[in-house]
Amino acid sequence: MEHEIQMNGHVAVRMLYLDRASSVLFGLHCKVLSVSTLLRELILAAVQAHAAMRRERMTILAPLLLHELQGAKEEALHIPVPSDPRLKNVCQRLLVGASRVETLEQLAAHAGASSRTLARLFENELQMSFVHWRQHVRLARALSQISQGHAIKTVARDAGYASCSAFSSMFHRVLGITPTHYMKQVIEPSVASSRSA
């Protein structure tokens, strides 16, 4: 399945490759999963065991790792990418400038399609509305900026929101947590954990 990952800032990445029999347990579409502290540590341990060619350790870790992956909560945030060239044009324009405030009608002029056609393509190809898709793009960029320590006021403005409260409301509606709580519960513990590792 074709997919792409974009990362901003200073990050460390670990990749897990599952065989077909194991991966079928996770469904047929790309997902963003929430990684618990236990799952994070299992991933790190599995990568180390694999690198050290410790097969007996991998034999023990693998079933628990798969179990935890299966139980991981799917995040509400995902950004599907279209194949239709007109819709791709619009999506690329929004990905490059996440704070763009153009309407679908204005974007349609650049895409060579009517706004009605684009709206239908968003629903049929991406299974979400234009507004919903743009919101996810803005939110993904905001999460990256928050994790880099940017002030929420700056992040809200960059995401195209006139006020912090409007941005916080959207953030909470999509992710179920406020930006401030996200920083305290997600960012700060992972920073502390990586410092102690």
Residue 120 lies in a domain: yes
What are the DSSP E strand ranges found in 92-152? none
Distance CA 6, CA 144 (A): 10
Same domain? 99 vs 174: yes
The confidence score (pLDDT) of residue 49 equals: 93
Tell the burial category of 173 from Cβ atoms under 10 Å away from its Cβ (0-12, 13-18, 19+).
exposed
Residue 197 lies in a domain: no
Q: Which CA distances in Å does 35 have to 40, 74, 167?
A: 6, 9, 25
Same domain? 10 vs 70: yes
Last residue of a domain, one of 13, 46, 75: 75
Beta bridge partners of 74: 33
Distance CA 28, CA 12 (A): 27
Same domain? 71 vs 113: no
Query: What 3-state DSSP class applies to 197?
Result: coil
Last residue of a domain, one of 27, 42, 75: 75
CA 100 to chain CA centroid, nearest Å: 19
Beta bridge partners of 33: 74
The confidence score (pLDDT) of residue 62 equals: 92
The confidence score (pLDDT) of residue 68 equals: 94
Beta bridge partners of 187: none
Residue 80 lies in a domain: no
Same domain? 91 vs 118: yes
Residue 171 lies in a domain: yes
Same domain? 137 vs 49: no
CATH number assigned to the domain comprising residue 91: 1.10.10.60
pLDDT tens-digit map of 64-77:
999 999 999 887 77
Same domain? 94 vs 30: no
Please give the model's pTM, rounded to 2 decimal places.
0.68
Distance CA 142, CA 3 (A): 21
Distance CA 63, CA 40 (A): 15
Same domain? 177 vs 112: yes
Range of the domain at 9: 1-75
The confidence score (pLDDT) of residue 67 equals: 94
Residue 32 lies in a domain: yes
Residues in the chain where the model's pLDDT stays below 50: 196-197
Last residue of a domain, one of 42, 75, 108: 75
Domains in the chain, number: 2
The confidence score (pLDDT) of residue 119 equals: 95
Same domain? 164 vs 187: yes
Same domain? 94 vs 62: no
